[in-house]
Amino acid sequence: MRQFIFAGVPADSSGQQGRLDRAPSALRDLGLVAALDASDIGDLDTPVAGRRRDADSGLTALEGVIEATLLLERRTAQLIGSEKLPFLCGGCSALVVGAVAGAANALGQIGVAYVNAHSSLYDGETSPTGHAASMALATLLGRGPQVWSSLLGSGPVLKSDHVSLIGVRDQEEAEQSGALVRTDFQPPLREFGIDQIRDQGAAWTGLAAEQLLAQSPGQFWLHVDLDVMDEMAFPATGSLVPGGLDWEELASLLRPLFSSKGLAGISLAGYDPGGDEGSSCGLHLVDLFRALCR
């Protein structure tokens, strides 16, 4: 059975309080740590407060984003050194920057299975909101705000052929806003779109992504933003996007990635406890990870 270390990352790069930042404690109370049979180190000190957008970088809550990224980079590297898999429970998708940078520091070259409705390829100029989550993958690829990416070293953390975009469905909106797209990178980012998942099956998609990442670079980080799910199946998320996955599809997609020998760690984002009447979404999520651990 996989051995996990659970750490809460109560941060929302929108600067809002009382929504996504409550997810770690809420899911802990609903039994997620027990479902994973994980050791729990509590919540990391990663508050991101304030909603002012920095004029130079285009980032909202710039200071908090920087502090959280540096802490996550350091702590993720330490957790990987413990020989257990980190399970970082956010919060928003901005946490993936520090997490993947820390994993790369500990392991060397690393890939990412990016399960998200959004490609996160904006920068400080093109992002409509300035939220770090919208720029997370661009930053890891060296194309985000310089003040953020410069924290991570002299070059990109990720190579473009070591990224698998899975379930993305914001392409039209992103292109209209001037965001980067997969073909702006050489080689292009690998993409498993929602239509391909439906045509070839979620289980096939998860296995195909796992095999590519396990082959090169060999180890990878799994990031799951729950907005990849359909808004009717999972309304308790920070961003509702129609046409996503149902519970069965998500489980089938994640199973080969979750069980891969190449898995270096997991981050979970996008759960809004305040939008979860009766905690039904949270409880279903706990059941999902309990089943994946079997």
> pLDDT-based confidence at 240, cuts 50/70/90?
confident
Q: Is the pLDDT of residue 267 over 90?
A: yes
When pLDDT is averaged across residues 110-139 and rounded to a whole number, the result is: 97
User: Over pLDDT 90: what percentage of the chain?
Assistant: 90
What mean pLDDT value characterizes the chain? Answer: 96
Whole-angstrom distance, CA of residue 72 vs CA of residue 96: 9
Residue 67: per-residue pLDDT: 96
- Residue 168: predicted pLDDT: 95
The whole-number pLDDT of residue 175 equals 87
**Contacts (Cβ under 8 Å, ≥6 apart) of 115:** 166, 167, 222, 223, 224, 225, 228, 253, 254
- Residues 77-98 have a mean pLDDT of 95
Superfamily of domain 4-292: Ureohydrolase domain (3.40.800.10)
Per-residue confidence band for 16, with pLDDT thresholds at 50, 70 and 90: confident
| Local confidence band at 118 (pLDDT 50, 70, 90 cut-offs) | very high
Helix axis angle for 247-258 and 202-215, nearest 10°, is 20
Q: How many CB atoms lie within 10 A of CB 79?
A: 24
Q: Which two tokens stand for residue 42?
A: 């509590």
Q: List residues bridging with 88 in a β-sheet.
A: 7, 267
Query: How does pLDDT run across 152-185, given as a tens digit for each residue?
Result: 998 999 999 999 999 999 988 888 999 999 999 9
Where is pLDDT greater, at 16 or 26?
26
Tell which wins on pLDDT, 47 or 160: 160
Confidence (pLDDT) at 2: 78
Please say if the pLDDT value at position 84 is more than 80: yes
Q: Domains of the chain: which residue ranges?
A: 4-292
